Amino acid sequence: MKHIIESQQFDRESISKLFELASSLEGKNSDCLRGKIMASLFYEPSTRTRFSFESAMLRLGGNIITTENAKEFSSVSKGEALEDTIRTINKYVDVIVLRHHEEGSLKRASLVSDIPIINAGDGSGQHPTQALLDLYTIERELGRIDGVSIAMVGDLKHGRTIHSLSYLLGKYRDIRIYFVSPEQLRVGENVKDYLRRHSVKYEETMSLHTIISKVDIVYQTRIQKERFTSLEEYEKHRGYCKIDLEMSKAMKDGSIIMHPLPRVDEISPEVDSSPKAAYFKQVHYGLLIRMALLKTVLED
Ligand code: CP
């Protein structure tokens, strides 16, 4: 495993090994990556992904160089091609964590890179490291992945975490997915084709109310304002299927609410103290998964 570009590249065995490693790293710092340098190259804003990768690298004894606004503060602003930027940074570091606004850009970057490239989100494409931490959260919180039912809610068209998590769930048995979205923001055919080929049962609906009591997980997502060309269109969907305390109580005992974050107004803050709220646990698990990923791609 050199580059981490899309969820489909993982199989159950590699996921299981990664999860074991992540669990073994909990609460520990080490110097196993001493002498290694990670570049975080972000063309789009981030709080969790960038800071967790940087924290992970530092906790493993490595170093970081970073640009949180590569669109403005790298030579791309002078017209440099992504490929040339990647070739250049290859000479300075051992791994590049890249977030880019264009779908497919991570694949392009990996084709010219001799060092590992990690996809930290490519436009509306994929966010595989988020999906891995989401899956790890499911295993840690529910004790299983096979057999779970999940409602994925919100902007399923543009939501890259939705795409990556769907591909990963396709590797497991007896999964049932309810895609809950407005008509205009339905999940793409490429994801549905993949699920059909992997015999994953899914349904599409516009109503969370009718299925909320059936599922083990509600995976809520933000309407992706930055992907809309019209603010009016965004405002039409904003706050779609907001989860409040009443709705969380309609969920079955032992079920969980997840969200990749950031949230805007999809989950009321009053839900945060519910035992079902797992979204800040995801943040913690994300650090462990990213430590495990860096150790996996960087250790000889
Ligand atoms: N979940 C996620 O990717 O969050 P950030 O945009 O803050 O990195």
Confidence of residue 234 (pLDDT cuts 50, 70, 90): confident
CA atoms of 180 and 293, how far apart (whole Å): 31
Q: Which atom of ligand 1 is nearest to the CA of 51?
A: 8
Confidence of residue 233 (pLDDT cuts 50, 70, 90): confident
Nearest CA to 110 among 119, 123, 101? 119
CA atoms of 85 and 53, how far apart (whole Å): 20
CATH class of 7-126+283-298: alpha beta
Q: Which atom of ligand 1 is nearest to the CA of 47?
A: 7
CA atoms of 254 and 176, how far apart (whole Å): 17
Confidence of residue 300 (pLDDT cuts 50, 70, 90): low
Average pLDDT over residues 270-292: 98
Q: Which residues contact 287 (CB under 8 A, 6 or more apart)?
A: 52, 55, 56, 59
290 lines ligand 1 (CB under 6 A): no
Q: Which atom of ligand 1 is nearest to the CA of 120?
A: 3
- What is this structure's pTM? 0.96
Candidate list 49, 129, 137, 161, residue with the active-site label: 49
Mutate to test the pocket of ligand 1, among 49, 160, 283 (most ligand atoms within 8 A of CB): 49
127 is catalytic: yes
47 lines ligand 1 (CB under 6 A): yes
120 lines ligand 1 (CB under 6 A): no
The separation between CA 74 and the C-alpha centre of its own chain, rounded to angstroms, equals: 25
Q: What is the pLDDT of residues 78-113, one digit of tens each?
A: 899 999 999 999 999 999 999 999 999 999 999 999
Q: Which pLDDT score, from 0 to 100, does residue 225 have?
A: 86
Please tell me the residue having the least CA distance from ligand 1 atom 3. 49
Specify the domain boundaries for CATH 3.40.50.1370 within the chain. Answer: 7-126+283-298, 128-279
Average pLDDT over residues 60-80: 91
CA atoms of 19 and 14, how far apart (whole Å): 9
Q: Which residues contact 61 (CB under 8 A, 6 or more apart)?
A: 29, 30, 31, 32, 33, 34
Query: CATH topology for 128-279?
Result: Rossmann fold (3.40.50)
Helices 128-142 and 12-24 cross at an angle (nearest 10°) of 70
State the average pLDDT for the chain. Answer: 96
